[in-house]
Structure 1
Amino acid sequence: MMHLAMGPKTYSLLHPIYVKPLRRFSVGKPTLSEEINESTFVVADIDKTGQLQSFWDYLKRTPKGELEGYREKRFAEAMQIAAAASGITINEYLRDNYHWASLGKAKFIFWHCDLSRWAESSDRVTFQAHDFSTPQAVSTDVYVLKTMLHDWPDKYVIKILQNLKPYLEAGSRLVMFESIFPSPDAEGRYNLPSTTLRMLCTTDL
């Protein structure tokens, strides 16, 4: 029998749209599936492939009649719009809420792993293609991971972080910028609108 702690995430899982993947991938198991190709999106099979392919596989496929990378480009544009519409300016928040001066003349790696094509570099920034599911081979004083872990199940987040471990030295810093779901009050209630809770569920670390 599977046990679910009753919270906003659980209530969202009980929505009819989630019943089919729960039955298919998690019933009879001690925990919910953490595989990226075992989800509601996979069951929907928008492209009718008949295969268990993840959302990222979907983005890589180019619809007939569109230019190569069409979906990746549209997804990147959607993320830019979402960031622009947010009440929080991430770059300013990172700048103002960490004591960067205490690090002195530290070497930084700002880990910007996404689906974008190669970007132009400047004299202060170098863009390097990297698959974060493989070891990061660059040693540095500070790693900054910005809004990248919330897309992945815990087992994959652990792997991503473990890939940094071999290159961390004494005094190295790991700065992560992610949304954290708020704690309920003493009566177990969340004093936020349900629409806000649902949005937080999609970005919660």
Structure 2
Amino acid sequence: MILTPVDLAELPEIAAVFDAALAAEAPWARAAFARIIDSARLIALGVDTPAQRARAIELAHAFGIETLDEEPQVAFSWDGRTIRTRSEASVIVHEVTHYLVAPPERRFLLDFGLGAGPETGRRAEADAAIAADFETREREETACSLLGILWEVELGQPGILAFLEQNWLEGYRRPTAARHFARFLGMLIDGGFVHADGRPVSPDRLRPLLAA
């Protein structure tokens, strides 16, 4: 849910303010931010199209993740084995990132042991499988949010929309907003999930590490 709606016409001005804060706080993070902002031009090509959903499913398969053509509401977004894909393209990508970021001991739990996702139908069962404390869940959700956005951009999709919806530009005039972005981008870089310029590490390079 967007806390403060952003008029896309105001995005260039907002982005300039945020970028200036990054230049002062974490200049190395500016390239990743620029890639996200540039994806606004892709909105005109369509949002959550069948082709975008197909590419999101292809991404899952590239990481060796099974998918099921079914609504998450009938069971789980992630049942420990498959991602249900009758959902928005951005949601599918987000579930893929949860698979990547989750530690091995939680990778095959219902909804990754984080509790029921927004689209999960069997919520009580997913919540009963929670295996991480609140702080860990919040940190992981935030990391997956940013990683999913970067993957959307990589797939040629308008990741800027998720960036706005998930409130990455909330309080953009405050240096803390830029620090927050840089902190989680740094975590993804240190974790080996993205390169310094914000481009995600390819499945060919990352998949062997997941199996280790």
Q: Normalization by structure 2: what TM-score?
A: 0.30
Computing the radius of gyration over CA atoms, which structure comes out larger, 1 or 2? 1
Select the structure with the greater relative contact order (CA < 8 A; seq sep ≥ 6): 2
Structure in which a larger fraction of residues adopt helix: 2
TM-score (norm 1): 0.30
